[in-house]
């Protein structure tokens, strides 16, 4: 198949729903915004022909954050399930897609050298995991609900509970980095980063829905978060800002 025919299989990203590069309410965006207009470059066969993953690339516990870093017992916090499907812009399931997540622990602290929040680290929680989507595009994580945490933006700004996602699709042009929030969290509407997403439908696609049907009795609640790679219904691309 020629590269032009491969390229036609991917719809352009919808930049109309993306936040502007700098937003005064999100103060650090003023320092990190590009000073010149961004360039749009069509993907080449290199970006369209990979990556590829197999179950042999993963550890059997990579998807279970309640066990993959446990040393002396289970981590502290509310046990939850995060699940959903990965589909493309034409609503077709995407199998064997690598889905990676990272998050703060139940106290709102990351296992990172530069995280100085006073909440303690959990010795049994590493805060990261990965899995591959199934043949129907489905994926599944077991984890701990992350806690909110303060951040140096305004005097008393707090990030809502969230989980970071990085998805490597069937081609590098389907690469997606985004965040997932939880339905009903009152901090979502107060967050300066969330507020940069002016399109309400785009913001809605960043919120996981409580799913009682996937919850496990006497074990954990569940949240559903479907992922759309590219197209008009795609999730906001966290690291790609509009021109």
Q: What's phi and psi for 220, nearest 5 deg?
A: -160, 155
In contact, 159 and 73? CB cutoff 8 Å: no
Structure tokens at 109: 């602290």
Q: Which residues are catalytic?
A: 110, 149, 159, 162, 164
Q: Give Cα 36 distance to the centre of its chain.
A: 27
In contact, 157 and 196? CB cutoff 8 Å: no
Q: Which residue has the tokens 């489905």?
A: 138
> What three-state secondary structure class fits 5?
helix
Per DSSP, the residues of 56-112 read GGS-TTTTBTTTTT-SSSPPSS-EEEEEEEEEETTS-B-TT-EEEEEE--TTS--SS
In contact, 116 and 151? CB cutoff 8 Å: no
Half-sphere exposure of 157 (CA within 13 A, CB side): 16
- Per residue, what are the HEC states of 134-177? CCCCEEEEEEECCCCEECCCCCCCEECCEEEEEEECCCHHHCEE
């Amino acid at each position: 198949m020629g590269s032009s025919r491969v390229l036609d299989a991917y719809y352009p990203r919808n930049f109309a729903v993306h936040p502007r590069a700098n937003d005064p309410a999100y103060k650090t965006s003023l320092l990190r915004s590009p000073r010149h207009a961004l360039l749009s470059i069509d993907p080449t066969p290199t970006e369209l022909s990979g990556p590829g993953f197999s179950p042999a690339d993963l550890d059997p516990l990579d998807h279970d954050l309640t066990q993959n870093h446990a040393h002396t017992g289970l981590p502290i916090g509310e046990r939850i399930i995060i699940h959903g499907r990965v589909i493309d812009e034409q609503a077709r399931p995407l199998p064997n897609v690598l889905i990676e997540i990272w998050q703060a622990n139940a106290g709102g602290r990351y296992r990172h050298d530069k995280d100085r929040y006073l909440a303690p680290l959990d010795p049994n929680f590493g805060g990261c995991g990965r899995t591959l989507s199934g043949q129907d595009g489905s994926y599944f994580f077991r984890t701990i609900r992350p806690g909110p945490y303060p951040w140096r933006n305004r005097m008393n700004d707090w990030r809502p509970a969230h989980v970071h996602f990085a998805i490597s699709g069937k081609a590098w042009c389907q690469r997606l980095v985004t965040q997932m929030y939880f339905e009903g969290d009152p901090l979502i509407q107060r967050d300066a980063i969330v507020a940069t997403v002016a399109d309400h439908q785009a913001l809605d696609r960043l919120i996981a829905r409580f799913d009682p049907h996937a919850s496990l009795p006497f074990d954990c609640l569940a949240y559903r978060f479907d992922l759309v790679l590219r197209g008009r219904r795609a999730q906001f691309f966290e690291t790609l800002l509009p021109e």
